[in-house]
């Protein structure tokens, strides 16, 4: 898994597509999922996700859905696709 494509209807930017990279690290605990925020966009956007080697694609997608719910952006997300 290289990343997740997200298409959303952002109230500020309009229709927006961006890629959230998934970086698999071997020197972190095996069940870790940690977001890295983007510097260019709003603070609720994330640039990439650092995951441990024991995290599956399904857990990453569940984390993305929960992340968008926590930040209040789930109603703007139109679709997500695994790369």
Q: Tell me the per-residue pLDDT of 17-52, one tens digit each, with 9 for 90 and over.
A: 989 999 999 999 999 999 998 877 666 678 999 999
Q: What is the domain range of residue 78?
A: 3-82
Of 62 and 11, more confident? 62
Looking at the 3D structure of the chain, how many domains does it have? Answer: 1
Please provide the average confidence, as pLDDT, over all residues in the chain.
90
Residue range 5-26: average pLDDT?
A: 90
Alpha-carbon distances, residue 14 vs 7, 17, 61 (angstroms): 10, 10, 24
pLDDT for 20: 93
Residue range 52-60: average pLDDT?
A: 94
**50 has which bridge partners?**
23, 34
């Amino acid at each position: 898994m290289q990343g997740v494509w997200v298409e959303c209807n952002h109230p500020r930017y309009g229709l927006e597509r961006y890629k959230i990279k998934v970086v698999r690290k071997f020197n972190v605990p095996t069940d870790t999922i940690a977001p890295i925020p983007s510097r260019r966009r709003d603070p609720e956007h994330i640039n990439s996700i650092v995951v441990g080697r024991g995290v599956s694609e399904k857990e990453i997608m569940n984390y993305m859905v929960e992340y968008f719910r926590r930040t209040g952006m789930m109603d703007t997300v139109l679709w997500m696709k695994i790369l």
